[in-house]
Amino acid sequence: MKRSGFIFSVGMLICTCVSVTNLQAQSPVAERVTGNAVIAGNQTKGVALLAVRWDRRWNCGGFENAQLRVMAFDKLPTAKTDDAAPDLLLDDAPLIMTKPVFENYAFQLEPGEYGLSRLEIKVAKSVSDVGVFRVPRSKFLKDGASLGGTFTVGAGEVVYLGHFYLDCHQQPILWRYYAEGRDGFNAYLASLKKIYPALDTDKVVFRLFQSKEFGQDYKLP
């Protein structure tokens, strides 16, 4: 996965570092699909493909370690409050045992534009000094748009959004990486075919999550 350059805005992460608490139960709209269900056969919905690393990143931005805990997205426009369930929720980070690998996800979504609406990164200065950077929906969504970034998926489409992990340039921050080049993308698709046998890899669209804060533009050559 490639990360070329860095764009950083401290304003997006002005969040109090607080002690870790249990996450509120959520009921997201998007369904995670697996196996033969990951196809574009349902022409009224689309499928979003992405991968996430949940392991701790050590010596990260002034902390002993940091760990991505939560990412959430809402279909735009939205008038949801901070405590409302998101349309797409990723919160599978383990509390103890972590593996340095990307976990693949496929979600069936209503067609449209989706914006990043929640982010949580656990940070630790030591075993006893642990907290969480939280960016709620009210910080990300302004006037119906997402300041964190967006992606789109159409009816009947299968869209690759990127690989998500942390960057540690100045402080722990979400970063969207990507499969680089045609060969890299084809290798990624070949690995997906083993997980999702019915996926027609020739029809997967390379359309990354777009963000000025958490990723840089890249077009597949």
- Distance, in Å, from the CA atom of 199 to the CA atom of 189, rounded to the nearest integer, reads 9
pLDDT at 11: 42
- Distance, in Å, from the CA atom of 168 to the CA atom of 82, rounded to the nearest integer, reads 27
Of the pLDDT bands very low, low, confident and very high (cuts 50, 70, 90), residue 169 is: confident
Q: What is the mean pLDDT of residues 178-197?
A: 94
The pTM of this model reads 0.86
What is the distance of C-alpha 196 from the center of its chain? 20
Of the pLDDT bands very low, low, confident and very high (cuts 50, 70, 90), residue 142 is: confident
pLDDT at 42: 65
pLDDT 10s digits, 69-114: 999 999 999 989 999 999 999 998 887 778 899 999 999 999 999 9
- For the chain, the structural domain boundaries read 30-206
- Distance, in Å, from the CA atom of 208 to the CA atom of 150, rounded to the nearest integer, reads 9
Query: Helix, strand or coil for residue 84?
Result: coil
